[in-house]
Amino acid sequence: MIQNKNITLISHFLVWFVLFSMPYLLSYGQEQDLNRVFIHFWIPLLLSAILFYLNYFILIDKFLFTKKTFWFVAINLFLIALFIYCKESIESIYFQDLIKKRPIGEKGNTGPPFKMFIYVQMVSYMAPLLFSIALKTTKRWNKTEAARKEAANFKLQSELQHLHYQLQPHFFFNSLNNIYALVDLSPEQAKTSIHSLGKLMRYMLYDTNVEFIALSKEIDFIKKYIELMKLRVSNKTTVNYKFPTEETGIKIAPLLFISLIENAFKHGVSASKESEININLFCENKKVCFQIENDNYPKKTNDKSGSGIGLQNLEKRLKLLYPSQYHFTTSLQNNKFLVTFHIETK
């Protein structure tokens, strides 16, 4: 902010410096009449600068932006008339030899009529006035736009935080359901599952409270989760997965893939039939591609485990985090459910 103020100050100084130097820049090498430059150029320019900054710092905020247009116009007309009078008074008092006779319409006059003279003077002061209005309005619009973007960003972060907090208990709920099924069948496996779940929850609670996380960390979390889920399925279920083995340097939003894997274990596993889950994650430059395919064994309508919140959560998060940067498709063919999506990371 301080740097921006310094840049603005320097810009204003350079503009006025160039304007005050114009007579010498335009007539370089020619003889200069300093008195003529002073009365016909520097004094009007100085008065223009005063008019500009009076409006820029005081009048526009106090009158124009508060919709007191009448007072804004009246004060500026008064200032312009005052400046014209001051310039003419300075001319008549200190620069008698430079005064040009202003005609009042008699034959033989060579100067412009008095009304035309006043009109030209007023128009010349309108330029700094309009320029100050334009600059101030632009500055105000930029400030309003910045505030709007900040508010939109705050809303986005709030929505993402809500979705993140929503995902944690959902994941915990599903995992407890899985462990509950093991308690009677295999107490030892249930103990192992609880230990693994503790590690996963530690990751979710302490490592994912950031906007983006290393893809390698997310892959480690997914592997542990898959191993946890494999404890409760029979040997009739085959789980295949393939992930990048080298560090990619890519960062993504945390917990993007877990809902799809949960969904595959929920709807793709049968207790009595052969089933297969195939998971593939790969990277192409900065694009992360994820595919998961499973057999389709729909749950009964009264089965509320998971409640379907995971996929809804994922789609909302993708829209918020990667607008126009993601592609998400689902398909069901030959009793195989396939989900494919990719995201363009920065």
Q: What CATH number did the domain enclosing 306 receive?
A: 3.30.565.10
**pLDDT of 122 over the 70 cut:** yes
Confidence tier at 117 by pLDDT (50, 70, 90)? low
Last residue of a domain, one of 148, 167, 183: 148
Distance, in Å, from the CA atom of 344 to the CA atom of 271, rounded to the nearest integer, reads 38
How far apart CA 192 and CA 38 sit, in angstroms, is 92
Look at residue 239 in the predicted model and tell me its pLDDT.
Answer: 95
300 versus 198: the higher-pLDDT residue is 198
Q: 159: exposed, middle or buried (C-beta count within 10 Å: 0-12, 13-18, 19+)?
A: middle
Encoded tokens for 199: 């590690």
Mean pLDDT of 306-326: 77
295 and 273 housed in the same domain: yes
Mean pLDDT of 48-71: 92
Range of the domain at 235: 153-344
- pLDDT at site 104: 44
Asked if 261 and 306 touch (Cβ cutoff 8 Å), the reply is: no
Integer Cα distance of 164 and 154 in angstroms = 15
Residues 100, 234 share a domain: no
Say whether both 337 and 269 belong to one domain.
Answer: yes
Do 179 and 229 share a domain, yes or no? yes
Domain count, the chain: 2
232 φ, ψ to 5°? Answer: -100, -5
pLDDT interval class at 307 (50, 70, 90): very low
Q: At residue 107, does pLDDT exceed 50?
A: no
Mean pLDDT of 228-232: 81
For residue 23, give every residue at least 6 positions away whose Cβ sits within 8 Å of its Cβ, in sequence order, or none.
Answer: 32, 37, 41
The last residue of a domain, from among 148, 183, 213: 148
- The percent of residues in the chain predicted with pLDDT above 70, rounded, is 81
Cα 255 to Cα 314: distance, rounded to the nearest angstrom: 9
DSSP 3-state of 294: strand
> Quick one: 125 and 273 in the same domain?
no
Query: Among 116-120, 187-191, 195-199, 321-325, where is mean pLDDT lowest?
Result: 116-120
Same domain, 133 and 188: no
Predicted local distance difference test score (pLDDT) of residue 71: 95
Among 285, 267, 284, smallest CA distance to 276 is for 267
Q: Look at residues 85, 116, 148 and tell me which one is the last residue of a structural domain.
A: 148
Pair 216, 286 in one domain: yes
Strands 287-295, 275-284: pairing kind: antiparallel
Q: How many CB atoms are closer than 10 A to CB 258?
A: 22
Is the model's pLDDT at 108 over the cut of 50?
no
pLDDT confidence of 1, banded at 50, 70, 90? low
Decide if 237 contacts 277 (C-beta within 8 A).
Answer: yes
Q: Are both 306 and 227 inside the same structural domain?
A: yes
- pLDDT for 162: 67
User: Long-range contacts made by residues 240-243, C-beta under 8 angstroms, separation at least 24?
Assistant: 240/276, 240/277, 240/278, 240/279, 241/278, 241/279, 241/280, 241/281, 242/279, 242/280, 242/281, 242/282, 243/219, 243/281
Same domain? For 128 and 28 the reply is: yes
pLDDT of residue 207: 85
